[in-house]
Amino acid sequence: MGKKSNPLTRDIDRASAYSIVKMLQVCDSQMFQKEAGTIYQRLLSDQVVKTLMEVAKRVEVIIKDPQESCVVMSGCGTSGRLAFLISSGFNKALSQLNQSEVYSYIIAGGDRALLSSQEAPEDDPRLGVLNLKKVCEGKKRVLFIGISCGLSAPFVAGQLDFCLQHPEVYTPVLVGFNPAHQARDEPIQDCTFTFHSVVQRMQELAKSQKAFLINPAVGPEAISGSSRMKGGSATKILLEAAFSAAHAATSSNTPITHNGVLQHMMAYERTLAVTYSQTDGITTLVEAAGQSLQCSRHVYYLGWGSLALLGLIDASECSPTFGADYEDVRGFIRGGYRELNNNDGPLTSLGPKFSIAHEDFLHLILPCLTDKDTVLLIYTHSDDATEVGNMARRVREKTPNLHAVYHQADGDTAASLQQDDIKKLCLSTLKITWPQEALVSGTLQHMRELSTKLVLNAVSTGAHVLKGKIYQNHMIDLQVTNTKLYRRATRLLQKLSACPEEKCEEALLKAIYRVDMLTLEMTSSDITTHTCFARNSTKVVPLALVILLTGWSLVEAESHLKQQPIVREAVAQWMW
Ligand code: S6P
């Protein structure tokens, strides 16, 4: 998944909002493509389902012995955010049954990374191990689930290596979306292992079920490397299928079966169909958000319950993915940190981007809201409709550019009366109706969450594409703040300029250090030093590309880029 660009979206940068949504639909449906014709496992492959069953059995044992054991999920960026979302949901489900919570999450960079981009800790395997030891203190049995979509994060590799060294306590599971042989083989500073070598050791142990690998192919991302999209969705699908089976086994004595796990996963396939059957509604949202971003205004997600979390997550990903400012797309959750219930509690003191409650929106944002901003209400029929209505009215006083994403259960007429009032206040309402059977099978929440994720990913991706942030299907203005991103930037420069690797890296360094002549100190520093320095530089990759294509000096390149900040146009102009 990591390095390939998806041929389906090669021209996404020049597509209309409607075509963008259609392309995303085709990309997402690749997740459920069957194995035929490929040698790689897919999401619904027998082997994947079998492994999920084994993992579910381990989780079942842990739920029955919560004092001495736990399930830990860990990842960087989106993978860590998904670890948080999933652990929150399943812990809540356990509490509702008066059972002890068994799930914990680790996100590289700590809780601040749930809401902001912290790319550097991804490179630190030791930090991963420290975090893991802390979470597992006193536990005798730990099911560790490391999530790295590209099988690449050193933070996770360190944790898996630690588990492999302590098999008496830890059983490692790896979730990712690359074939094992494509795991990253780049040396990790001060370590004897690479991600690839860890995967090889796990493959050996997997034969005796002492380790588990869950790595189906899901097809390349619509925007190259944007694993927040399919990577995140597939992570959610796989882990929820396994945990749901474990919960059903403990609470209602339903045995963990192949068919049970498969059926749960297929409910997500239906989720895609239900969601994308609303292409027109999603297109309207993409257009509205695109227009807001195009005129440097903002998009706000106001959500209730766990769906609000998906808004927070989607918004926080815009800055690392599109080089956006945190104010461009923002999420707010009813109940703020109380509802979030994260490890470290309220993070408000860390700065304005950590204000996430609806009250914060009312105090900080509402007074300056204009009709160029787009506001999205995200809620379900079980949320307090009076409250949603009040919020809608407050927003409506400032702007008509208010939209709703509303999930209702089939045949739920009681809720629809109040819903009508809200609908009248909104410019558009994306109404997603779920069949009653989803209510019964307990998959409703998971389906609504995935559906919301797909819609919001489409809105923020589509809006940034319309803003001109993408070239073909590559994000050019990516941050270069860890080794993965540094390598990606170099590859991208090679691809777009056709210059040799060495020259591309040289241009990249010039743009990072903002000089025309690199000093020996700069060229002899390691990648970590470069990526640390790059934290304070902007437009690094576009600048490097302009330098490569035109031979201009840094100052010249900077001034041209200022005149034409839309990277798509800028690049097109220099390339032909
Ligand atoms: C990707 C996102 C990143 C990744 C992170 C972890 O859209 O912006 O933050 O989630 O780099 O990647 P991986 O491959 O280890 O899951």
Average pLDDT, the chain: 94
DSSP string, 267-316: HHHHHHHHHHTTHHHHHHHHHHHHHHHHTT--EEEEE-HHHHHHHHHHHH
- Give me the pLDDT at residue 61, please: 97
* Ligand 1 site, residue 227, Cβ cutoff 6 A: yes
* Ligand 1 site, residue 320, Cβ cutoff 6 A: yes
- In the reported structure, the alpha carbon of residue 76 is separated from the centroid of ligand 1 by a whole-number distance in angstroms of 6
Contact 225, 2 (CB under 8 A): yes
Band (414; pLDDT cuts 50, 70, 90): low
Q: Which residues contact 499 (CB under 8 A, 6 or more apart)?
A: 493, 507, 548
- In the reported structure, the alpha carbon of residue 410 is separated from the centroid of ligand 1 by a whole-number distance in angstroms of 36
- Give me the pLDDT at residue 409, please: 83
- In the reported structure, the alpha carbon of residue 351 is separated from the centroid of ligand 1 by a whole-number distance in angstroms of 23
- In the reported structure, the alpha carbon of residue 260 is separated from the centroid of ligand 1 by a whole-number distance in angstroms of 30
| pLDDT value at 205 more than 80 | yes
- Give me the pLDDT at residue 171, please: 98
| pLDDT value at 491 more than 60 | yes
| pLDDT value at 508 more than 70 | yes
- Give me the pLDDT at residue 7, please: 93
Tell me the three state secondary structure of residue 259: helix
| pLDDT value at 80 more than 90 | yes
Q: Please state, in angstroms and rounded to a whole number, the distance separating the CA atoms of residues 473 and 176.
A: 22
* Ligand 1 site, residue 226, Cβ cutoff 6 A: yes
* Ligand 1 site, residue 152, Cβ cutoff 6 A: yes
* Ligand 1 site, residue 470, Cβ cutoff 6 A: no
Predicted TM-score (pTM) above 0.90: yes
Band (415; pLDDT cuts 50, 70, 90): low
* Ligand 1 site, residue 82, Cβ cutoff 6 A: no
Structure tokens at 566: 């839309």
Band (561; pLDDT cuts 50, 70, 90): confident
Out of 78-87, 448-457, 462-471, which region has the weakest mean confidence (pLDDT)?
462-471
* Residue whose entry in the numeric block shows the structure tokens 């461009």: 328
The arithmetic mean of pLDDT across residues 311-324, rounded, is: 92
- Give me the pLDDT at residue 385, please: 93
Q: Please state, in angstroms and rounded to a whole number, the distance separating the CA atoms of residues 306 and 446.
A: 10
| pLDDT value at 485 more than 80 | yes
| pLDDT value at 36 more than 70 | no
Band (86; pLDDT cuts 50, 70, 90): very high
* Ligand 1 site, residue 87, Cβ cutoff 6 A: no
Nearest to residue 71, comparing CAs of 203, 170, 151, 164? Answer: 170
Band (217; pLDDT cuts 50, 70, 90): very high
- In the reported structure, the alpha carbon of residue 519 is separated from the centroid of ligand 1 by a whole-number distance in angstroms of 32
The arithmetic mean of pLDDT across residues 235-244, rounded, is: 98
Q: To test ligand 1's pocket by mutation, which of 4, 74, 79 has the most ligand atoms within 8 angstroms of CB?
A: 79
* Ligand 1 site, residue 403, Cβ cutoff 6 A: no
Nearest to residue 257, comparing CAs of 268, 245, 266? Answer: 245
Band (32; pLDDT cuts 50, 70, 90): very high
* Ligand 1 site, residue 76, Cβ cutoff 6 A: yes
The arithmetic mean of pLDDT across residues 318-335, rounded, is: 93
| pLDDT value at 492 more than 90 | yes
* pLDDT tens, residue by residue, 134-147: 999 999 999 999 99
Give the phi and the psi of residue 524 in degrees, each rounded to 5: -95, 0
Structure tokens at 5: 């660009």
> Exposed (0-12), middle (13-18) or buried (19+): which is 148, by Cβ within 10 Å?
buried
* Residue whose entry in the numeric block shows the structure tokens 């020996």: 520
Structure tokens at 420: 């009508």
The arithmetic mean of pLDDT across residues 34-61, rounded, is: 91
Nearest to residue 125, comparing CAs of 179, 76, 61? Answer: 76
| pLDDT value at 418 more than 90 | no
| pLDDT value at 2 more than 60 | no
* Cβ atoms within 10 Å, residue 502: 10
Q: Which residues contact 109 (CB under 8 A, 6 or more apart)?
A: 76, 80, 118, 120, 121, 122
Q: To test ligand 1's pocket by mutation, which of 76, 175, 478, 481 has the most ligand atoms within 8 angstroms of CB?
A: 76
Band (1; pLDDT cuts 50, 70, 90): low
Band (417; pLDDT cuts 50, 70, 90): confident
